[in-house]
Structure 1
Amino acid sequence: MHLEYIIPDPWSIIEENWNPEQVKSSESLMSIGNGTMGQRANFEEKYSGATFQGSYIGGVYYPDKTRVGWWKNGYPEYFAKVLNAPSWIGIKVKVNGQSLNLHTCKEVRNFRRVLNMKEGVLYRSFEATLINGSKVAVKSTRFLSLAMDEIGAIKYEVKPLEEDATISYEPYLDSAITNEDSNWDDQFWNTLSVSDQDHRAFILAHTMKTQFHVCTMMSTELYVEGRRIQLSRKRTSASSYQGNVGNKQETITYIGHRYETDVKAGETLEIHKLGGYVSDLNHDKEDLLEAANTVLEKAERLGFEALLALQKEDWAAVWAMADITIEGDVKAQQGIRFNIFQLNQTYSGKDARLNIGPKGFTGEKYGGSTYWDTEAYCIPFYMATKDQSVARNLLTYRYKHLDKAIENAAKLGFTNGAALYPMVTMNGEECHNEWEITFEEIHRNGSMVYAIHNYERFTGDTSYIPEMGLEVIIGVARFWKQRFTWSSDKEKYVMLGVTGPNEYENNVNNNWFTNYLAAWCLEYAFAKAHDVKKEHSKDYKRIIKKTGLTDAEIAEWKDVASKVYYPYSEKHEVFLQQDGFLDKELISVADLPMSERPINQKWSWDRILRSPYIKQADTLQGFYFFEEHFTNTQLEKHFDFYEPFTVHESSLSPCVHAIQAAKLGRMEQAYTFYLRTSRLDLDDYNKEVEEGLHITSMAGTWMSVVEGFGGMRMRDGKLSFEPQIPDAWQSYSFNINYRGQIITVEVTQEGTHFSIDQGNDLTILVSGETVVLREGVMVMV
């Protein structure tokens, strides 16, 4: 039974009634971020119950040594992870000398927490009776500014309900924090200094090993009934032991400002707290204190209310482009907006040094690192809902890591500039700590090239490949050429010892998806090398000089691609997921008792590996990538063969199946898959939401609507749509930024409307027919 306590609402994630068992789940679901930093929805006031504290800074990480009892050549030495950063949100609250703590209150009433996705603001309110009998009403409002992405803002309000009360606030900063997922309980942060000036306070610290320098900052203002007041402050501090084992020293790691005043019953004492981080990613480390003061001064001049107004404006601009509206199905509407909201909180596209972690800023699982999810799932979303420069920045990220990818391949014995992009990375180095993934799930390498192809055909930007992309393509092609093995028995090239997207089968031979993707990469490299040589001769000469590429090598790529072996079943008329798949006991998921699901939590790994069960789309992932290579009849045969064995225990699985079910006209099935992918976290299908959200798969949810129901594809150089609509919906609509023109698509039960905002006439395909869109004219099909 999955979790269902979130109230359906088209624009908000709403939790009502106090339930301590939901705290960690809600901390994930109501996480906030602005692309530069993010945080779980932890309470500002003290909370002594079960909680998962987390604040994160984009690009700041630590190389935590892998925890294994053995070592092999080529094995990554560390697992990079995003760090729980020094906390700036805390506000200790006392009423008549008693700490406000929801875990110890005698009674909590009218608890309500709302993540307003339209505004990008987190609201919380409740009434509580403290241990000493004091009764108060509390409200908090919090956001991370899009306009000033180093700043977050909190308005915290306490109102005595029955009697006058003495209330104290102690806003604080704390650098004595840890990660929940630490392998060795290492100290991640070293606190350098703690300081304050008037109503501001600062903690300077740096990460161990990676030496990222960060200044955590805060400033505060106090108000009674909306009138600003001046109160004397008492500086508080606390120490913790920092340093290596055997050489630990007591260091001040906490600074607070305590304010206290008497408040009449029915009146409100509120504190405005501004806080956040400046780091040496964007400032000289010697100037971080000055930078923090400058940022705070600018934010203070605006004030909380003006910053809040800007936040609402900025999110309105995001939604004007990215929104998908669904009429007639509130849960579906809430689901898609939640996914779009979290994607925009996680990555803004402004900084090519940053990327998209599978948990974003919502938790520590997967280390906050970059996976192949970005190229396979996220790029389509960012290409179509942002300026194309955002998607180009994601490709640039991989180009800048090419040298590291070549190093990664060299560690495994590959030569001549062969490149193997990591399964998991922060800086281009492989840092995944499971051998069957690190060494064998090499299909991710092909996704780097597929993303380049996908970007060029959608945006029409032909400059990326000669400027950067061809070098990536060459490195990947060299890897595939060397990774194939010639089988004299089959007289074909085979791929031995791999793990496909279905991680429930490891160390298999001839995974069809990997073989097919690798062969396509070689053919694509052959074609693009010739294109650049012909059309961008200056760039080609530079690339040849840098890579040592020869015509003979390019010809070899074409030859290998033409001789790749693909396992196939004549009986079932399907490509086999890998050699020996039919040797398994083919019992469908429908015949698997629910008491044994999910199998990744109920079965041994040995049993999983011997089963036919598929974690996520594998062969069908290839049919998604290369849909135009196959007929609908072939897709139908493969879908009907593989989907019954698929347990969808990866967040990346339901979206691909939703798209393909829609392609086959199976809208009821497509709708079921859509609901699962869109509400994966909201309803906690995988029983793990308290660990963080599934950010990268959220892009797949967007794809389920736009590519699934909307049928958007690129066909013969034109944008194409084949719109369908679920029976449960009255209508749905979305926008596409296609080569600088905004296309609005609205699908109803009666038909589909297309329009463009401005610019030249645009020819598209709708269900195979040519349609011309003109500025200011709505076309109904």
Structure 2
Amino acid sequence: MHNRKLILSLKDINSNKKGNIAAIFSLSNGYMGIQASDPITGANDVGTLVNGFFEYSPITYGEPAAFYPKNNQTIVSLPSLRKIRLLDENNHSFNFSELKNISLDLSNGQLTEVYEVSNQGGEKIEMTVASAIDQKKLAFYGIKFSFKPISYQGKLVVDKHYKIERKNNDGVGEVEDPRKTRLVKSISKHIISSDDFREVIKIETKESQQSVTIEGYSTSEKMLTKRALKTGFDITYIYKVSEGVKNKGVSIEQNSFDKIKEHSHKFWEDVWNQSEVTVSGNDEINLALHFNIFQLNQATGRDGKTNIAAKGLTGSGYEGHTFWDTEMYMLPYFIYTNPEFARNLLIYRYHTLTFARKRAKELGIKHGALFAWRSINGEETSAYYPASTAAYHINGDIAYAIGKYYEATDDDDFMEKYGFEILLETARFWREFGSWTEKGGKKQFEFLTVTGPDEYTAMVDNNYFTNRMAENNLKLAYTVGLRLAKSNQKVFDRLNSSESELREFHHIADNIYFPMNAQYQINAQDDSFFSKPVWPFNKTPKTKYPLLLHYHPLNIYRYQVNKQADTILADFLFPETITDSQLRREFEYYETITTHDSSLSRSIFSAVAARMGKVNHAYRYFTDTVRLDLTDLQGNTEDGLHLANLGGSWLDVVQGFAGMQVSSQGLLKIIPHLPAEWDSFQIRLAFKKRLLDIVIDKSQTQIVLLSGDPMEIVINQSQQTLTKIIKINN
């Protein structure tokens, strides 16, 4: 990070609400997350999340129908590892008084907080909390409490024992806001063992039959200790969180707070070496960008069996579910900075194929797979199919990400073991779920009763984005399949495919129907979109946004109104399918009817505007995107950070302002558009086993090959051979 410490503190966020602080300053490592809740008055039984640890609860329908999902899945909030009780020598509690400072060092992942706490007599002490999560031995978390007298001079009692709340009610509590989570009640908590220096508790779910063991260990003082403050003292605790049989082999005594901090520091050093994005000329934006990348890395499941929840491990919003957000908004960052993480995220989808095949059969598809719209383990959990199962573009989203990963890595091993099977099964779904029709005297293939990315337009025919994703999916299956048929026939045969099947995929792709609007000469969002009236924006008060919380879905569905980028997202993903003039018309039309009620929206409008050369326009969207959670723009940061938006801010810089694309010939392209507010910006990219350092300023673009073989690269439409360094005038 260029020897420049980037530290996020209270002055860098707009809201000091406890929930916002807990989410923004949370620590996680893809396996578990620790919210930065107040350790004195924060909840005792919530604050820790384990990726993939969830509970079932039945979905109640007023009018059930065939093959509706039967169960919710809700991530379980586990006891806080930060919670502590402080008592004076008269057994009176010290309570929260003031958070004096909190700082998160993005260079090493260490969190430092300073609290002022007081007893009922108004006597005060200062409590400093230093914590870090292990980025190598993922089960471990360390926290050190330092106590200093302010006006209290007596003995201080420090109690770090768990207080188990035995409320083992069945079921879950319902919520009105679909973005929030249910309260899980059908879990049990038991103290397994407890002594002076150690305590072990076990949490078990009733329905999903999962378990987590939390072991706490004091490295010096007892778990319950009483000491004179004098000049102050420290107590350090190590926690180990084990799910099922995971992490059983590493003893808690084998780790230390210093080791945890060392592992964290090394991890972040490697992250920034691979994926540095630095803005010169705006420190606020630069800090926000680093924070977003930091949290994106923290949230990511690394074992091939867990993914990235919509809120990561910063909060339980959206119940800890994974959506299409991963492939469309977050995976690009990993593909071009940490391909190993990208590979594991895609392998997660492979491990859910059994559920996806079952779901396809439930929709009448004999051969093929349909991935869940929202899930933790791969089972569909969404009770509202018009905005979930009908959004079967998820298949194409996953296939698109596989294609981009393969394009950037040439990872034949992944494609042979995992990737092609997903491409094949999703292509088979498109073949069976679509239908042939006669349009304009031509036989074409279409997809009916579908919901695209825009959740304010549901159950329509021929959503443009969906059809474009299907086309790409079918062609990918064709090209990869032909390659495998020649290079590894055993894989091809094992999946019962044939070259005639591949040719059928290609024939369908060549004849997919794409709706157009003749009046505006733009891609129509779907067949019926332009027959609807435009939403009455001038009569809608600001207090009625987001629309989904104030209007019945059928009211919204009757209008031209977009929750988020839809056709514009397709234009972003497939830039070579549209001319500059049509893109400009398309952008201007859809922009006027988009509410950006989804946090997924602004980043795409920013990236597309930047590519069009509308840099000032793009920058306005970008400033909202890059600081969305730091400003609580959506009003629900306390439920967890908006992980897709964090990835979107990286897309804006790299694929928007730097104009990074991969051409149809497989060449990396850089077409820079420097915002007027910046002096320069620097990015690092991994591409085909090479690491590039790219600096764009007002006069030139410089690209340095840090590692790997020479390569052909396109800068400002000029193809160059990069052997070590290239400088091109902008």
The CA deviation at 1:674 is: 1.2
Q: For residues 86-143 of structure 1, what are the alpha-carbon distances to aligned partners after superposition, in whole Å with 9 as ceiling and x for unaligned?
A: 33322111234321222xx4xx4x7212222222122111334432121212211112
The CA deviation at 1:653 is: 1.1
The CA deviation at 1:161 is: 1.5
The corresponding residue for 1:443 is 393
The corresponding residue for 2:697 is 748
The CA deviation at 1:433 is: 2.0
Return the alpha-carbon distance in structure 1 between the equivalents of residues 587 and 516 of structure 2.
Answer: 15
Q: TM-score, normalised by structure 1?
A: 0.86
Q: For residues 567-601 of structure 1, what are the alpha-carbon distances to aligned partners after superposition, in whole Å with 9 as ceiling and x for unaligned?
A: 21111101211122122223686885534433334
Deviating 4+ runs (over 6 angstroms): 17-21, 177-181
The CA deviation at 1:562 is: 3.3
The corresponding residue for 1:692 is 640
Say how many residue pairs are matched.
Answer: 713
Aligned-partner SS, 2:336 = helix
The CA deviation at 1:19 is: 12
Is contact 2:301–2:345 with CA below 8 Å preserved after alignment? no
* AA aligned opposite 1:400: H
1:261 aligns with 2:227: yes
Aligned-partner SS, 1:571 = coil
1:581-592 → structure 2 map (5 Å cutoff): 581-586=529-534
1:34-183 → structure 2 map (5 Å cutoff): 34-47=29-42, 53-96=46-89, 97-102=91-96, 105=97, 108=98, 111-174=100-163, 176=165, 182-183=173-174
Q: For residues 36-85 of structure 1, what are the alpha-carbon distances to aligned partners after superposition, in whole Å with 9 as ceiling and x for unaligned?
A: 1102111222347xx99421112222222224323111111112222112
The corresponding residue for 2:205 is 207
The corresponding residue for 1:643 is 591
Q: RMSD of the alignment, in Å?
A: 2.6
* AA aligned opposite 2:417: E
1:323 aligns with 2:276: yes
* AA aligned opposite 1:434: Y
Is contact 1:175–1:189 with CA below 8 Å preserved after alignment? no
The CA deviation at 1:165 is: 1.5
The corresponding residue for 1:248 is none
Identity of aligned residues (%): 26
1:340 aligns with 2:304: no
Is contact 2:69–2:381 with CA below 8 Å preserved after alignment? yes
1:659 aligns with 2:610: no
Instruction: Give the alignment partner of residue 485 of structure 1, picking from 420, 423, 435.
Output: 435
The corresponding residue for 1:726 is 675
The CA deviation at 1:621 is: 1.4
Is contact 2:133–2:260 with CA below 8 Å preserved after alignment? no
Q: For residues 712-757 of structure 1, what are the alpha-carbon distances to aligned partners after superposition, in whole Å with 9 as ceiling and x for unaligned?
A: 1112221110112100011111111122221001111221211012
Aligned-partner SS, 1:698 = helix
Is contact 1:88–1:174 with CA below 8 Å preserved after alignment? no
Is contact 1:175–1:203 with CA below 8 Å preserved after alignment? no
Is contact 2:57–2:172 with CA below 8 Å preserved after alignment? no
The corresponding residue for 1:469 is 419
The corresponding residue for 1:238 is none
Aligned-partner SS, 2:721 = strand
C-alpha change, 1:17 and 1:271, in structure 2 (3 Å) is farther
Return the alpha-carbon distance in structure 2 between the equivalents of residues 605 and 690 of structure 1.
Answer: 26
The corresponding residue for 1:296 is 252
Q: For residues 365-417 of structure 1, what are the alpha-carbon distances to aligned partners after superposition, in whole Å with 9 as ceiling and x for unaligned?
A: 2221221111222221111111x2222222222122222211111112211x2
1:662-681 → structure 2 map (5 Å cutoff): 662-681=610-629
The corresponding residue for 1:374 is 326
* AA aligned opposite 2:103: V
Once the two structures are overlaid, the 10-residue window that deviates more, 156-165 or 640-649, is 156-165
* AA aligned opposite 2:261: L
Is contact 1:87–1:175 with CA below 8 Å preserved after alignment? no
Return the alpha-carbon distance in structure 2 between the equivalents of residues 213 and 770 of structure 1.
Answer: 56
Is contact 1:173–1:216 with CA below 8 Å preserved after alignment? no
Is contact 1:88–1:172 with CA below 8 Å preserved after alignment? no
C-alpha change, 1:685 and 1:554, in structure 2 (3 Å) is same
The corresponding residue for 2:373 is 423
* AA aligned opposite 1:414: I
The CA deviation at 1:543 is: 2.3
* AA aligned opposite 2:6: W
Is contact 2:13–2:630 with CA below 8 Å preserved after alignment? no
C-alpha change, 1:14 and 1:193, in structure 2 (3 Å) is closer
The corresponding residue for 1:239 is none
Is contact 1:181–1:364 with CA below 8 Å preserved after alignment? no
* AA aligned opposite 1:626: F
The CA deviation at 1:21 is: 6.6
1:498 aligns with 2:487: no
Is contact 1:62–1:207 with CA below 8 Å preserved after alignment? yes
C-alpha change, 1:772 and 1:143, in structure 2 (3 Å) is same
The CA deviation at 1:295 is: 2.7
Return the alpha-carbon distance in structure 2 between the equivalents of residues 602 and 213 of structure 1.
Answer: 39
Aligned-partner SS, 1:734 = strand
The corresponding residue for 2:9 is 14
The CA deviation at 1:343 is: 0.7
Return the alpha-carbon distance in structure 1 between the equivalents of residues 348 and 234 of structure 2.
Answer: 43
Return the alpha-carbon distance in structure 2 between the equivalents of residues 384 and 552 of structure 1.
Answer: 34
Aligned-partner SS, 1:429 = coil
* AA aligned opposite 2:145: Y
* AA aligned opposite 2:691: I
* AA aligned opposite 1:438: S
Return the alpha-carbon distance in structure 2 between the equivalents of residues 555 and 325 of structure 1.
Answer: 46
C-alpha change, 1:664 and 1:518, in structure 2 (3 Å) is same
Once the two structures are overlaid, the 10-residue window that deviates more, 497-506 or 424-433, is 424-433
Q: For residues 450-469 of structure 1, what are the alpha-carbon distances to aligned partners after superposition, in whole Å with 9 as ceiling and x for unaligned?
A: 11111111112234333322
The CA deviation at 1:615 is: 0.9
Return the alpha-carbon distance in structure 2 between the equivalents of residues 20 and 167 of structure 1.
Answer: 32
The corresponding residue for 1:276 is 240
C-alpha change, 1:306 and 1:496, in structure 2 (3 Å) is closer
C-alpha change, 1:393 and 1:443, in structure 2 (3 Å) is same
The corresponding residue for 1:626 is 574
Is contact 1:80–1:431 with CA below 8 Å preserved after alignment? yes
C-alpha change, 1:663 and 1:10, in structure 2 (3 Å) is farther
The corresponding residue for 2:660 is 712
1:525 aligns with 2:477: yes
Unaligned runs of 5+ in 2: 175-181
The corresponding residue for 2:709 is 760
The corresponding residue for 2:265 is 312
Aligned-partner SS, 1:408 = helix
Q: For residues 223-272 of structure 1, what are the alpha-carbon distances to aligned partners after superposition, in whole Å with 9 as ceiling and x for unaligned?
A: xxxxxxx5xx5xxxxxxxxxxxxxxxxxxxxxxx32112222xx112211
C-alpha change, 1:126 and 1:529, in structure 2 (3 Å) is closer
Unaligned runs of 5+ in 1: 1-8, 223-229, 234-256
Return the alpha-carbon distance in structure 2 between the equivalents of residues 393 and 651 of structure 1.
Answer: 25
C-alpha change, 1:298 and 1:713, in structure 2 (3 Å) is same
The corresponding residue for 2:545 is 597
Once the two structures are overlaid, the 10-residue window that deviates more, 205-214 or 745-754, is 205-214
Return the alpha-carbon distance in structure 1 between the equivalents of residues 75 and 692 of structure 2.
Answer: 37
Q: For residues 625-667 of structure 1, what are the alpha-carbon distances to aligned partners after superposition, in whole Å with 9 as ceiling and x for unaligned?
A: 2111222222112111111111111111111111110110000
